[in-house]
């Protein structure tokens, strides 16, 4: 039975779940990095970004020039 799911393109939801699980003390950052198969530094970044900016801080921003040259 699936407990949680989100669309594969919806990375912000996954990041929010990771931050909330850590903040709720359901798992350590090490546990979350192993379960979600991501680097520990990524978990740490998600926790900090979520605390600072909420969901907006977890949305992937396109890098590079914003306009055509």
Task: Tell me what pLDDT residue 63 has.
Answer: 58
Task: Tell me what pLDDT residue 1 has.
Answer: 53
Task: Tell me what pLDDT residue 24 has.
Answer: 96
* Contacts of 12 by beta carbon, 8 Å cutoff, 6+ apart: 55, 58, 59, 60
Chain position carrying tokens 């590079």? 64
Asked whether the beta carbons of 9 and 20 are under 8 A apart, the reply is no
Task: Tell me what pLDDT residue 47 has.
Answer: 96
Triad 26, 42, 32: Cα angle to 5°: 25
Q: What is the mean pLDDT of each run of 10 residues along the chain (69 residues)?
A: 60 91 96 94 95 87 62
Three-class DSSP category at 65: coil
Neighbour count for residue 5 (Cβ, 10 Å): 9
Task: Tell me what pLDDT residue 66 has.
Answer: 62
pTM for the model stands at 0.74
């Amino acid at each position: 039975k699936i407990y949680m799911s989100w669309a594969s393109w919806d990375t912000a939801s996954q990041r929010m779940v990771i931050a909330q699980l850590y903040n709720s003390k359901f798992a350590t950052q090490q546990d979350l990095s192993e379960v979600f198969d991501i680097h520990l530094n990524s978990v740490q970044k998600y926790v900090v970004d979520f605390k600072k900016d909420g969901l907006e801080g977890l949305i992937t921003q396109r890098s590079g020039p914003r306009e055509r040259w």
